[in-house]
Each structure stands twice: as structure tokens, then as C-alpha cells.
Structure 1
Amino acid sequence: MKAQQEWIDIAVSALDRAYVPYSHFPVGACLVSADGAVYQGINIENASFGLTNCAERTAFFKAISEGKRDFVHLVVAGHTPAPISPCGACRQVMAEFCTPEMPVTLIGDAGVIKETTVGDLLPYSFTNQDL
């Protein structure tokens, strides 16, 4: 499934609200649930760097805290020359709550886009089947 322009716009608009006083590296996300609800995420830094939260996880945590568990698409935007790449922690959260086939759209500056899936981003993920 190709990302809808509305979802792309939501992810890109989040870049302006990211709280990034240390890295100056804003990231925005738009997570779409199965019922069509959208959840915008931003990265939120902290002076204690380990407490920083990524945009993707912010979007997931907002949706999950509101009872959503079924997701159909994630869009991630950043000010990078190539499409932005989610960190490992975000990929693991995606694997926890999404099917490997769920589409993920990655966006860089100048509208550079890569369409991929959760499974392509994190092959051999650790899941509840490994417990």
C-alpha cells in the first residue's frame, strides 16, 4: 500500500514540533490504525540522552495508550538526504505491534521516498514466539 499524501503531510508537519535542542535532528511520524485513526509522533530529547524518545515510538505509544492495537501504515520523515531510517529500538516496537507485511514509508528531504515493510526493516525480529 502506498502512503496517502495526507499521512505524508502529517509526518512532515511534525518535524516543526520535534523537541531536539541537543541533536537538532527532528523526526516526524504518522501511524495509521486499522480504523483510519492517525497518530502523529515527534522525537523528544532529554538532557539525559538515554531518556530520549523517537518519533515512531511516540506515535505508537500514543495509539496504544488509546486502545489501538491494529495498524496498517507508518510514515517516518526526517531532514536527511536519503529516506530516513528508523533506529533499532523503533524497529523492535514496530515488530511487536505490526505484521511483517505492514507498509512503512520513509521520507527524506526534497521528497525522496522509500516504500518498505516492517519485516524488511527488521528481519529475524525477536517476537513473543521466541519466549
Structure 2
Amino acid sequence: MWVRSRTGFLVALSLPIFKLSKRSVSMFRAMTLPVSEQRTVVEIFVEGRRVVAREGETLAAALLNSDVVPFRYTPVSGKPRAPLCLMGVCFDCLVEVDGAQNVQSCMVRVEAGMQVKIPRGARRAGDVK
């Protein structure tokens, strides 16, 4: 089943483990901190769409908080993938960042103006960054 998240991205819901509503697709939520402890809000762009994130948080966390799922589609089967480990082990969070392909989004900190693309299939040959 596919639903549209509040940011406009399509989200795949296959076999739900948890009962999710259309209003709250993601089980990931940012902690609420006092204003004095909150990080600066910055804009990044995912597939050309503006996404708000906190400076210094991981790109994977920012994308999950904005309901951007899936992060990529596998080269062989085209199946959607999203982060599993969030610590750089599984490679399910690969995205394209500022033209660099196969970047582990869980290992990259958000920076203002970042351009993120969702990979569809195999890496493009000859693109090296």
C-alpha cells in the first residue's frame, strides 16, 4: 500500500508491523528540547523539494523526520529501501548528496542547501565524486 506523507513523498507500507495512520506515517519523531538547546533550522532539498532539518543532525534522521521514505530503490529488483541500522553498517540508507552517489545518509551531517536525490537502480557509470 502507498500513502502520501505530509511532505508530499510517496511512502510504501507493505506488511505493517505497527498500525500507522496516514497522518503519522513515520514512527520516528524528534525529541522536544528547550528552545535554548535547539539547533539551527536549515533547508535542504530532496528531489527538488524543500525539507526543513536541524543543522548537525544526520541526513538519515532529517529525512526520516520529514517522512522521506524510501531512501533508495535496489538495482536488481527495484524494491524500496530505508535505513535499518543508522550507524553505517547496512548500506540501506544510500542516497545521492550534492552529486556524490552512494552516500550513507546516516554518516553525513546536514548542511544548509544540501541537494539530495533518491537513487533508482544502479549507480551511473563514470560519475566519480
Larger Rg: 2
TM-score norm. by structure 2 comes to: 0.26
TM-score norm. by structure 1 comes to: 0.25
Give 1 or 2: higher helix fraction.
Answer: 1
